[in-house]
Chains A and B, each alone.
Chain A
Amino acid sequence: MGTYRDACMSGNFVVSGEIGPPKGTNVARMLDDIDLLKDKCDGLNVTDNQSAVMRLGSLAVSGEIVRRGGDPIFQTTCRDRNRLGLQSDLLSAAFMGITNVLCLTGDHPVVGDHKQAKGVFDFDSVHLIQCCKKMNAGTDWAGNTLDGATDFFVGAVVTPEADPLEPQMYKFARKVDAGADFFQTQAVYDMDNFQRFMEQARETIAGTNVKMMAGLVVLTGLGMAKYMNRAVPGIFVPDALLEELGSVAKEDQLKKGMEIAARHIAFLRDNKVCDGVHVMAIGKEEIIPEILARAGVVR
């Protein structure tokens, strides 16, 4: 198995998966998920206190993926640490053999399970990208020389269905300027909209070697799809997909959702819409291999 960076540079269609660390010390299921996915995906994201809910840390789990022979994409947010903490964790990541970093702002504490926490946001995601690049060049943020530089492959996120889209595209441009190597998008479901987004994105990244990965969250049922539409900012599930999910009995909707995800992966790959996909099956990681097999993604 090569590394995620190699896969991105190869020109082949890239697939990453995602591991959500548990809230607690029972890690058996998560380790099973890692072992199941590490060779079927080019890289595995590890979420960082996702949705501002306190969990086992992304740094430790990313390190475990390295030990198990996979290639983690270490998600790190600006919510919980100031610039000292972030850089120290980045050095720790390098020490643990982690090379891919996904730089995120982080959800506000108020949407999570520690609503009284102080959100830090000393850096924003753009600064975090710049910081990784500085550390790659051998200095910390303040300009002090590092005794040994990092070698991070630096990722960021963008929301193709953001409303309004224009401010989001300007932020995307700032992240490109800051030196992001790859992007994972917020979950997309409308392939026409996504193709239009990619046309705009291609203009912004023209002249760079930036790789674009479409985010796909598997729809596990009609209720979940409607919830995503209603409650998750930047997500749009088109009516046609809602109807498609609703056309089968409730117990068959997960299968239908998997079929839709496989179809979207194949569509994006066969039409060269983007450079790869980031597939998420929040809490149902065991279904990912079947989706990838259906899409004809073989590792």
Chain B
Amino acid sequence: MALLLVATALAAPPEPAEGEKFLRQYFQFMRNHDMAALSAMIADDSKVEILFMDSDPPMKFTLAKSDYLQQLKALWHFSREERYDIGPIRWQADAASGVLLASLRETEDRLILEGRLKQINDLELRLTRTANGLRITGIRTTTRLQDSAK
């Protein structure tokens, strides 16, 4: 019996410098409300896991990419005077999976529905080199909301 061995070379995780440039661009597209550009940066089969800390116990939701983008679009529609602040990014590369994990705190502030809403997201974004280039292949966020009536 002949055995055919196929060796598949797994892509190395992206370099942090490349990841940093990519994510700074991602958040700039978020500020610009550029849905097409944001969508192109996220892999189609990505999941967004959101842990809302407001309730007791905290609630976890998992959104498909389309649901996540729909929420962004709706948020932009109702928001004014938006601000997105990005904290320092910490990097962790996993050679076995080819993933570069970015961890950061992102703070959003906006006027929405008669009040000011602050959203603090402790984010983990998985960056992977795909056939189409660098992509976000998963997002996890622990989110706290603080709102105040106008």
A, B co-complexed: no
Write the residues of chain A forming the contact surface with B, with a CB cutoff of 8 angstroms: none
Write the residues of chain B forming the contact surface with A, with a CB cutoff of 8 angstroms: none
